[in-house]
Structure formats: C-alpha cells, structure tokens
C-alpha cells in the first residue's frame, strides 16, 4: 500500500491511545467487557445481480469480525436507512433500543489501480453519490491499524444539503478497511451521535477481514493495537505546541 503521511496533534494521539485501551478488560471466559463480537459474511446473496456487478458479487466469500457494544445487533434485512451507501450486501446495525444507527457493506478494490495509485481516495471512490454523499477519505483519513496489505481508518461520511432535503450539511462517523491481498474492502457508517469517540475507535480497532481467508480469526491482539494506535507503514508526524 502506498505510504500515507498523517499529521496529528500529540494530544489527539494520546486521546486515541487512551480511548482504545479503555474497556478492553476480558472476563475469565475471554469475552470483551462491554462489547460482543459479531461475524458478517460477504457476499450475503441478497444483492440483485446484473451484468455490471457480477464480478463483484461472485468473489470468494469472506467474513468481517467486528465488536459492537453489548445489546447491539446486526441484520441483513432490508432497511430504508443508509440506502445511499454504494456497497453490496449491506447489513444494518441496531443499538440496544432497536434503533437503526448504522450500516456496513463491502465492495472490491478497483482492479485497474497500480501500486502507485493505491491511495484511499482511489480505493474508496465508489462510495459516493456525485458531490452530495461520500466517505470523505480525501480530507479525513485517520489510520488506526495498518500492515503491508491491510489498513483500517476513521473518516467522515459527508451529506450535502441536497441529500438532507434542504437542511444543513451533515457528517456521520465512517470506518473503512481494505485487504489488498484479496482486493476487497468494507465501509461502515454510524449516525454521528450513536456512539462515543471511545466506542468509535474501539469498533474500528476490532475489525478483522481475513477470518475466512485463512480459516481462523485474524483479530489483532488488543493490547498491541492499544499500545500502538498507528502502526505498519504509516508515517506519523507529531506537532508540539
């Protein structure tokens, strides 16, 4: 993956590190305190296949492992919310009150990208509706974990006033994670006020896309990920004020 240079304020890095560590205790059975693991399979088989998306929908199945707050649930049943997410096999995320607060789907990394072109704005350019809706990885791409072929980042999900029926522009919380070895990525959108910054970072740090590729869970070691919130081939520049 092409090297990405991120500039962050030192205090932000400290906040993320502390946030990522909070709540990582486990019970004697090894379960995460305050969070439950969910496994979502892609493709789900619920997508309408056309001549244009056949290649995307016939990829080898893979699973996404994700930790969500206790009481939250995931369903692949159709929901009118988040219908603009240009991803396939959308699953909808519900909070403990049964309110739909987010969605997750997958797509494939564009096959025409060479190594020099593998930058976030090119990988995730499909998740958009013109200039009115997009995962804004160009302006906000905050990596939480990275290796040679897998990278997960926080971003904004932008809505213009056209999409919000004439009201003000809005931004939701977004997470993107790609696996370049297998040429796939997932995108997750949450209502901005549905979860705290701590939960947001924790959920992003819990993602694992390679479970079904190798027959076993690829979950990152939580202690290691907590200690080094930005790892791999990401170069971080700290500004001291």
Q: What is the CA radius of gyration of the chain?
A: 17
| pLDDT confidence bin for 32, thresholds 50/70/90 | low
Domain count, the chain: 1
pLDDT digits (tens, 9 = 90+) for 209-228: 865 554 444 433 332 333 33
pLDDT for 105 beyond 60? yes
Identify the three-state secondary structure at position 187. Answer: strand
pLDDT digits (tens, 9 = 90+) for 174-189: 999 999 989 999 999 9
The mean pLDDT of the chain is: 77
What gap in Å lies between CA 187 and CA 176, rounded to an integer? 5
Query: pTM value?
Result: 0.76
Query: Of 202, 220, 188, 184, whose CA–CA distance to 67 is shortest?
Result: 202
Query: Of 63, 60, 69, whose CA–CA distance to 36 is shortest?
Result: 69
Phi (first) and psi of residue 228, to 5 degrees: -125, 85
Q: Which domain holds residue 122?
A: 4-239
């Amino acid at each position: 993956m092409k090297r990405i240079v991120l500039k962050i304020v030192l205090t932000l890095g400290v906040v993320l590190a502390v946030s990522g560590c909070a709540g990582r205790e486990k019970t004697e059975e090894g379960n995460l305190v305050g969070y439950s693991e969910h496994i979502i399979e892609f493709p789900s088989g619920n997508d309408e296949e056309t001549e244009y998306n056949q290649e995307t929908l016939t990829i080898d199945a893979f699973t996404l492992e994700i930790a969500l707050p206790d009481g939250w649930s995931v369903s692949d049943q159709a929901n009118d919310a988040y219908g603009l997410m240009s991803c396939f096999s959308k699953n909808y995320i519900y909070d403990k009150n049964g309110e739909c607060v987010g969605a997750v789907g997958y797509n494939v990394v564009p096959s025409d990208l060479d190594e020099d072109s593998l930058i976030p704005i090119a990988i995730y350019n499909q998740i958009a509706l013109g200039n009115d809706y997009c995962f804004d990885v160009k302006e906000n791409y905050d990596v939480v974990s990275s290796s040679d072929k897998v990278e997960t980042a926080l971003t904004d999900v932008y809505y213009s006033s056209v999409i919000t029926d004439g009201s003000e522009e809005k931004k939701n919380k977004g997470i993107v994670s790609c696996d370049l070895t297998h040429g796939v990525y997932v995108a997750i959108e949450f209502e901005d006020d549905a979860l705290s910054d701590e939960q947001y970072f924790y959920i992003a740090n819990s993602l694992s896309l390679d479970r079904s590729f190798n027959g076993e869970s690829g979950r990152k070691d939580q202690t290691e990920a907590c200690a080094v919130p930005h790892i791999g081939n990401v170069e971080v520049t700290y500004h001291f004020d």
